[in-house]
Amino acid sequence: METTQTRYEDFLKIRVLPEVLTHHLGRHDDLPALTQYVTAEKTWKTLTYRELYERVQRWRRSFTKFNLDKGSRVAMLLPNCIDAICFDQAALACGLVPVPLHAVDTPGSSAFILNDSEARILVTAKYLKWKGIRQADTLPNLKAVIITDDTVPEDDQVNNTGINVCTLADWLDAADNIALPEVKLEPTDLAALVYTSGTTGRPKGVMLTHENILENAKGVMGNIRPDPDDKWFSFLPLSHTFERTTTYYLAMGMGNEVFFNRNILQIVDDLQHVRPTILMSVPRIYERIYARLHDQLAKKGMVTRYVFNWAVEVGWRRFCKENGLPVEHSWRECLDGLMGDWLDAKVGSTLRKVFGGVKPHAFISGGAALNQSVAKTFIGLGIPIYQGYGMTETSPILAVNKEHHNDPSTVGMALPNMQLRLGDNDELQVKGPCVMQGYWNRPEATADVFTEDGWLKTGDQADILPSGHVRIKGRIKEIIVTSSGEKIPPADLEMAIETDPLFAQVMAVGEGLPYVSIVAVLETEHWKALAKELNLDANDPKSLNAKVVQQTLVRRVKKLTKGFPQYGVPRAVIPTLNAWTIENGMLTPTLKLKRHIIKARFQDDITKLYETHAG
């Protein structure tokens, strides 16, 4: 009988990425591999590992027909779906280098990546996506575009000189009789060019090898190891290395089943259908559920709120004991044994129903810091969240909390195969087999990100605790230094404020200024409720700047940040109702704030605010 250990030992033998699929052949042919919703049939469809392999072979024949040289780049602009996996597996097996594009990126940015990578083929879902990219720039290297979910207009060749555009069905059918040559792959071959969605400047192509990515997956399993029957839920874009390495390569290598989310608007319905035991997520998902939970709780009676808080307290205390953390004692502690199961069934099960009702194996949070109140509530109610940390340049995970050694105030311990140290200004630096080969055609940028003795500079300030756990203090370039010399990492501050559903998006300002303030996007419905409460017209733009609104917002912000040092508590709020999006240039494709652009947009308001203070 197979165990977690035997599956893990098999995974350790994998040398190149196509083997995450092929090593199952003959042993796990009938195991479910990928499941997605087929809209036309209104049902979920599953491919076994054998069926997936056969489908990948068809894609391989189509790639082979183009006679591309080994190492040629091919680009993908697809949602998370079976086609995305087929593209990637087939390209890798042909010795090609996948270039995943961000589905939410602008046409201009996608065109830049296609040109910078010199991609020869583009596979995308929608014809209009391709049309937008084609209109954004000339694409001299591109030879073919494959449309997976649309028809191609008859007059498409107009303005597509030299580029063959066809449907996926036609592309696959045309290569059915192509023989597949043997392609020799090495662990040191490039396996991806993943473009960073930098908050400044043009994106850079991170060069990752088969070995980089596989070593990362193997390292992660030194901290958290999937069981054979675990189910994964995929909703983070596969263009992100975090999702690719974990919910794709690691999950498939362990023979698990992966379910694809239909779309972000149906995520709750899909979670309840799938009932996943492993989930890769960003803090914002957990924070939104937390905010909604507390919003609903505020409307309940005192007894309901008391029982809820008691359930969190008991669950958190149990968790702290299991993980060697300081225990928060209270007079109710003597009742834990008697009331724990009842409180879990009464309260914890309600939260777990959001995720399908099962007790998860591991829900991972990465990409940004997780608010501690959110972590405490989820963990206390039986959702085991493990914070991790990484960057595209490290394939991507550097550290993640371990089972039975989970400290949510940290991003966990370094992976067993990675080394961490602190450099100047407490900058976290890293060395090991997961570190990239450099930036594509950017030797100067590559040199800048490495120390003279070969350690990668992360750009983050950190502490490494005696236990080995890592605590991130903030991006060195983002840390706010006020005119009095106080240093404030903005991310923790912003995260604490965003737990209030009124504040949809927040950015702290105060560099070189006498105190910290925030620019805040208010959630529309909550703003309407607040305006009504204050006897203001929510539709009148002047209402946002009313003195009573400013006083109310500052009061709420101070309550949300009461645990911060006094110099770090914001003293003013610049409110807006216009959301920051990728389309308007305020966010990166990975939803990080483009701080310099947001600051420039609100510079007049910021200047006026501090002039008023000076007066």
pLDDT, position 562: 87
Q: For residue 280, give every residue at least 6 positions away whose Cβ sits within 8 Å of its Cβ, in sequence order, or none.
A: 232, 234, 236, 242, 243, 246, 247, 364, 366
Instruction: Indicate whether 487 belongs to any domain.
Output: yes
Q: Tell me the pLDDT tens digit for each residue of 255-299.
A: 999 999 999 889 989 999 999 999 999 888 888 888 888 888 888
CA dist 227 and 397 (Å) reads 20
Structure tokens at 367: 């990409």
Instruction: Indicate whether 560 belongs to any domain.
Output: yes
Question: In whole numbers, what is the pLDDT of the chain averaged over residues?
Answer: 92
CA dist 36 and 260 (Å) reads 5
pLDDT, position 160: 58
Backbone angles phi, psi at 325, to 5 degrees: -100, 160
258 is in which domain, residue-wise? Answer: 22-222+232-272
Instruction: Indicate whether 200 belongs to any domain.
Output: yes
Structure tokens at 424: 């100047």
**Which is more confident, 197 or 358?**
358
pLDDT, position 582: 82
Across residues 576-602, what is the average pLDDT? 89
Q: Tell me the pLDDT tens digit for each residue of 534-543.
A: 999 999 989 9
pLDDT higher than 50, residue 241? yes
Q: In sequence order, what DSSP letters do the residues of 346-414 get, joined into one string?
A: IIIHHHHHHTTSS--SEEEE-SSPPPHHHHHHHHHTT--EEEEEE-GGGSSEEEEPBTTB--TTS--EE
Structure tokens at 71: 């190492």
CA dist 142 and 83 (Å) reads 20
Instruction: Indicate whether 216 belongs to any domain.
Output: yes
CATH of the domain at 116: 3.40.50.12780
pLDDT, position 200: 54
Whole-number percent of the chain with pLDDT over 70: 98
Contact 514, 483 (CB under 8 A): yes
Could you check whether the bond before residue 396 is cis, i.e. omega within 30 degrees of 0? yes
Instruction: Indicate whether 88 belongs to any domain.
Output: yes
pLDDT, position 600: 93
pLDDT band at residue 92 using 50, 70 and 90 as cut-offs: very high
Structure tokens at 376: 């405490």
pLDDT higher than 90, residue 478? no
Contact 387, 400 (CB under 8 A): yes
pTM of the model: 0.87
Burial per residue of 465-484, b for 16 or more beta-carbon CB atoms within 10 angstroms, e otherwise: eeeebbbbbbbbebbbebee
Domain count, the chain: 2
Q: Tell me the pLDDT tens digit for each residue of 139-174.
A: 999 999 999 999 988 776 545 568 999 999 999 999
CA dist 75 and 192 (Å) reads 10
pLDDT higher than 50, residue 615? no
Q: Distance between alpha carbon 509 and the CA centroid of its chain, in Å?
A: 25
Whole-number percent of the chain with pLDDT over 90: 75
Order the strands of the 419-422 sheet from edge to edge. Answer: 419-422, 427-431, 456-464, 470-475
Across residues 102-120, what is the average pLDDT? 92
Contact 293, 377 (CB under 8 A): yes
Residues 285, 218, 244, 494: what is their CA dihedral angle, to the nearest 10 degrees? 30
Across residues 480-489, what is the average pLDDT? 84
Instruction: Indicate whether 418 belongs to any domain.
Output: no
Instruction: Indicate whether 144 belongs to any domain.
Output: yes
Instruction: Indicate whether 464 belongs to any domain.
Output: no
CATH of the domain at 512: 3.30.300.30
